[in-house]
Each structure stands twice: as structure tokens, then as C-alpha cells.
Chains A and B, each alone.
Chain A
């Protein structure tokens, strides 16, 4: 019998705070039938957390539930359950994990039953699948549904027509639906207060992400980054908790910089920084730690990632603006990473490659996510052409363990790091 125990992950104060915030939120969600609180289910990209909170509503995010189930190795069975009930093996595994979670009793990560939502708020931003996902959920829950269509910025710009369309939907569809669900009248001042808090937290988030511009980055902006974006992308944007979390996190990163430390990993401080990478695409969740280890064992640090922009591209200057709350919410939704056209995405990655002094671009192509994945091979070629830095391509999935082949990924990464070394040598001798 194998008696070896998994080493306990080392946690900073900010991590503990985030863990407590998440636990509190799940407790609030699962105790809603007792407390009388109402639940809104919505999606991460383009979520309207400040608005939802201004009505005193709770925010449940199906992708986050799927991620939790993926990290706790439970999503595989859920996905297969959904496939057995007729959902295609070809479609998004977040959807199937969500449907499968219901068939298994809809148990939240705190072990309690997740109550059905009172309202499905479909924020249709940057992902076609969202639309049909909510149609599937509507059939299961048979509850009120409201849709916010966020036009795709196909020409790389937000037009007045797009912004006006979103604002009009907010005023005439979304806010009335939230008023009906909550029984609370819309209070724009409360929304402004939430948005002011968002902007404050966003400032600190950007500082944290940009700390990776230091050579000897104090953070990993992908594997660590997914924790850093947690509060701002989910149920906490616009809360005092989020402000405090980012202040705490910023303090920790400042200290790491003063101490000359690299990123913190589940096994402690990372050793020598050998490779600086930009990563495009979401991570795999079912083998998250194993995946991360493949990087830090090799001294590879992700200095910038696009996944950490999927719920808002704050490092290009956007902040929630309390002086124009609805227009600002519209701009936030319209500007999310996967709502940007391919040339804009390539430009952003090129900027990261240069500003973060990256050695290369790694694309983690996700089978489930055509919004991210369709066109990534072209993106890689474009970046290689523009920067002269090598790109690499690996394929995994979000929460389907059948699509994570550790040996293949590791092999590909090792070859890639050799390629980066080779490129460096040839650059030096040129």
C-alpha cells in the first residue's frame, strides 16, 4: 500500500482570505432557501456582479462550479453522465459538467445542495455556447431567464451602436428582471458605490499582473494568475472583500520583489527563472497541479496570459467607471478578451511578448472552447513572425480528464524548452 502523502500546499495570507471568501459565498448560496436570499446564475465573461449585488442578489457561476468539480476530480463522471443522456461528445465540457452536476444532486463544493437559481442571467459575451447552455439550463430549472447580448467587436472597436444596444438591454430588460427577482428597486447610487470599489480593486490587480514585467518575476501570471483573478472575475467584484484581498496580495508581491523571490508554487518558492513565457488559452483544471509542476520544475514562469483577461482586460486601461455606470458596464462586457477579434488578440499577445520580455508563446488549446481555440494556430504563426520568438502548441481540455495526456504534454513542453534554449544560443551567436 502506498503510504506517501501528498505534500500540503503552502498558502499565503491572500490565499487563505480568498479561500474564506469562496467558502462564505458557497455557504450563502447553499443556505439561500433558509435565508430567503435570491440567486442569479450568470457567466464569468461580461458578468454584471456590481449590478447583481446592488439588488442584494447572490451570484452563482456555472463555469466556476465546473472548475471546482474539475479540480476535485469529479467532473469526469459528470461529463459522462451528460453524454449518456444525449449530449454530444463534441461540445463544451463545462456545459456537460454542469448538466452532470445536476444529475448527481447539484452538490456544491461545500457538500451542500446548490438550490436552483431564481433567475438565469445569460450574459452572452464572447462565447456562442453560453446561449445554448442557458437554454439547456432553462429547461432544467424552468425559472425566469433574461438575456444580455453583447455584440462581438469584429472590427476591433466598440461602436456607439454596440454600446447603446447593451445599455438599452440593461435598462429595459436586465434591470427590470433583477427588480422582479429581488423585489428591490434599482438604486443607481448603490451600483456606483459597487463600481467605485471595483475600480479600486482593479488598480491593484493590474499592479500585480504587471509585476511580472520584472525579470525575475515575482508571480506566475497563469497558474498563479488564475487565483489572482478569482475574486475580480467572480462574485466579489465591487465588494470590500475584493479590495482587501488585492491590497493583501499586492503587499505580498511587493515583499517578494524586495526579497528577490520568484513566484510562489504549491511546493514553495520557485527556483531559478529560466524561461519567461506568454500563455494563450485557459488551463486544464483536472490536472492543474500536475500541469503547473511541469512548468516550475523546468524553471518556466508564465509572465503574461490571455486567460486572465477573459473576465476583463484591465491592463489596457479599462476601469469600471461609477460616473457612467451603465455605459461602463457595457464597455466592460464588450472589451472582454474573447469578445475581441483575432487581430486584436494577436496584437495584445505581441504586446505581452515585448513588454514582458518573453522567450516564447505557448498555446494551451482547449478542445471545449472554440471561442478561444479556433484560429490559435494562425495566432501562433503570426506571433512567431512578428517577434521571432518560438511558439508551441499543446492540446488539453477544461474539465474532461480524458483529454489530458500528461506524458504527451510533458514531452511537448520539454521539447519546447529545448527549442527556446536553441533559439537563445543562435541569437547570441548571430
Chain B
């Protein structure tokens, strides 16, 4: 399969706000169930081990007209909860049997309770994660939270989640995570062959497909992309940061590239990369997942940084590893985690002489010219002056 064919399929999935692929998976076998989850991270393995489909809900993008959702929120609340409510109230999520709202910010947290009020018959849970990274404190708490989730998923699915099943799911997700890392590594090595818009679409597809199917897609994409013969352009290498929850419109991702930037790292689909190392598959699976979260998970604004020295280090490490020449802080309007942390991250970049700019967007932003101009000027300034 060519990259064009793969990307066409991904684009179709991206644009489909009815989640036809996930519905089809559910309808294929009687009794199947689907559990939706919001950004940024949940242990999908637990849902998978129960025989259910984890479905990533990333808002409605720029294809969804939000009518009902706006009636639930003031003007100063970000867009993703509005479009998620819209998805819920327009029947687009009527096939979803449960919804998980991970710990990311107060808006998504409160949405968990709104979902309970809005859909009293549907399982809805706020899934907390530890901000204390000691095994005997945060780890113990998190293990117990995951055991509770495991129990809930057993009840919802009607299936027992054995340790063996969970370790098997971890193994499958390990393979998935490795392939995801391979795609990002390839983009960093040869960004002219692997446009960010393509990477984004391929990663988004993984939110609505069964993991096994997405593994096949990633393999096909990696195989196809090496055959691509695209010319190297004189673009600068940049990292985008701040888009881990509400996603930018695809046009914005394309606009940054068209403005003269190769995006060599980003946090758009952080959910696929949250656990950064292979999770052991031969022990207590809940403990393995907890260890991975505490000690080998991605840093992001949604997490507490327990020492001053570590603040922004993940971004600086990425700059160094990916040989980035600058950072674009692109955060959704009214995003507390990203916007509160931005001064700390930008200070870290300044202290290390990494050029950076910042702007805001909404998932339905339509006017890309200002962003293209800003990113283009940034790219030019790097080329000319750095």
C-alpha cells in the first residue's frame, strides 16, 4: 500500500465524526463494547484485556458544527468540552458504553460529572493519576485506582480480566508503542519524507481502530514511507508544544509545514507515546503499568514537576535529541495546563538559547494566514539569524 492510500484512509477516519469504523467493530460481533476516553492518557490495556475497544475522543475538530455544546459553556472555556458534549448530544457517541475522563485539567474533570448528569445510564468515570512519583505512595495509590478500573471494566464487559490477559494486552501495546516511536524517529531523521500532517493522521487513526489493526497500518506506513522519494527543502527544524489535549485543525499542522518548518517533534497525540519504554509482560501487570507511569512516562503540562531542575527538561531534551532549531508553543485558547506552564517552558528555552514563539488556536480555527505568517517569519529568522 502506498503512503497516499494509507493517508487517504486515515483522512477518512479523521473526518468521520460518526466513528463509523468503531461502530463497525462493535457491530461485527454481538456483545462487543466500546469505552471512550478523553486526552491525555489512560491505561488502554485494561479496556483491551476486557475485550472492549478503547476509543480516543479528541473533540469534534473543525468538521463539527457545535450548537448544543456552546450552551453548556461560557466563552472563556476551551473548545474540546463543547464539541465533546455536541458529540454526546447528537447521538454520535450513542454506541459508546462507557466514558473515561482522565486527570488533565479542571474542565475535563468537571466534564466527567456533567456526563454523569447528562447520561445517567452510561458508565462515566474520572480517572485520577498520581502526581506523587514514589512507588510506595503514588504508586500504591495508582495501583489501587487501576484495580478499581479493572473491576469496573470487568463489570461493564462481563469478562474477567486475568493477569495473563492483561500481560498479553501490554505486549500488544508494547509493539504498538515501539512502532509509534519508529514513526516519530523516522520523521525526525528524514522529515522531508514524513510530513507531520501524515504522521498526525496516522496517529489519529489509532484512536478509532483496534490496536491490532493500527499496528498493521503503522507497519505498512513505515514500509511505504521509505520508498518515498521527496526532495529535501531548506526548512528549519522545529518542535511544536502545548497541543496535547484539544487538537489543532489539520490545516494548522499543514500551515506550519508550508511556512518553512519541518516539525521534528510534537505532542499532538501524546496518548500514543505516554509510556516511553517497554512495559514488562511477565510480572504483576498492574504493578508494571504503575511503574511505567511513575518512572517512564512522558512529561507534559498535565503533570506535576517535582523539582525545579526538571521543569522543561523534557522539551530541552527533545530539542537536543531531534536537533531542533526552535520551538513553537501552540496551545489551545483557555488551556490551563499549557498556558500556565508556558512561561516556565519559554524561560527554559531562552536560558538555553533556543528560539521560540507562541500562539493559540482552537480546534475549529479557520483562518490560517496569521499562523502561516508567524511561523514563516519565525522560520526565516532562524535561517537568517540563528
Binding site for B on A (CB under 8 A): 85-88, 90-92, 95, 124, 127-129, 131-133, 135-136, 138-139, 142, 145, 147, 149, 151-152, 154-155, 159, 161-162, 164-165, 168-169, 172-173, 341-346, 365, 367, 370-371, 373-378, 382, 395
Contact = CB atoms under 8 A, between A and B. Distances in A.
Interface of B: 71-74, 76-77, 81, 101, 103-107, 109-114, 116-118, 125-128, 130-132, 134, 136-138, 140-141, 144-145, 148, 301, 304-306, 308, 311, 333-337, 339-344, 346-347, 360
Given A154-B112, A365-B74, A95 B340 contact: yes
B126 A346 contact: no
Given A86-B343, A161-B144, A343 B116 contact: yes
B113 A154 contact: yes
B231 to A, nearest CB: 38
Contact of B130 (A149, A152, A365): A149
B344 A378 contact: no
Nearest to A126: B106
B128 A151 contact: yes
A128 B337 contact: yes
A138 B113 contact: no
Given A128-B336, A136-B344, A147-B132, A378 B72 contact: yes
Nearest to A370: B106
B106 A129 contact: yes
10 A-B pairs closest in CB distance? A342-B113, A154-B126, A132-B340, A165-B141, A88-B339, A341-B113, A371-B106, A161-B144, A374-B110, A370-B106
- Between B72, B109, B128, the greatest number of chain A beta carbons within 10 A of the residue's beta carbon is seen for B109
Contacts of B337: 128, 132
Nearest to B335: A90
Contact of B306 (A133, A147, A172): A147
Given A371-B110, A375-B114, 9 more contacts: A91-B340, A147-B306, A149-B130, A165-B130, A342-B117, A370-B110, A374-B110, A378-B72, A395-B74
Contacts of A169: 132, 137
A154 B117 contact: no
24 contacts: A88-B339, A90-B333, A90-B335, A135-B304, A135-B341, A139-B308, A139-B311, A147-B306, A149-B130, A154-B126, A165-B132, A172-B136, A341-B112, A342-B110, A342-B112, A343-B116, A365-B74, A367-B76, A370-B77, A371-B106, A374-B110, A377-B71, A378-B117, A378-B118
Contact of A342 (B73, B114, B308): B114
Contacts of B116: 341-343
A127 B344 CA distance: 19
Given A86-B343, A88-B339, A136-B344, A375 B132 contact: no
A135 B113 contact: no
A133 B304 CA distance: 11
A25 B115 CA distance: 44
- Between B77, B125, B136, B145, the greatest number of chain A beta carbons within 10 A of the residue's beta carbon is seen for B77
Nearest to A149: B131
Contacts of A138: 308
Contacts of A87: 343
Nearest to A133: B340
A282 to B, nearest CB: 14
Contacts of A165: 130, 132, 137-138, 140-141
A336 to B, nearest CB: 13
Contacts of B334: 90, 370
Contact of A135 (B81, B127, B311, B346): B311
A91 B336 contact: yes
A127 B72 contact: no
Nearest to B85: A378
A4 B103 CA distance: 53
B308 A142 contact: yes
B336 A132 contact: yes
Contacts of A162: 141
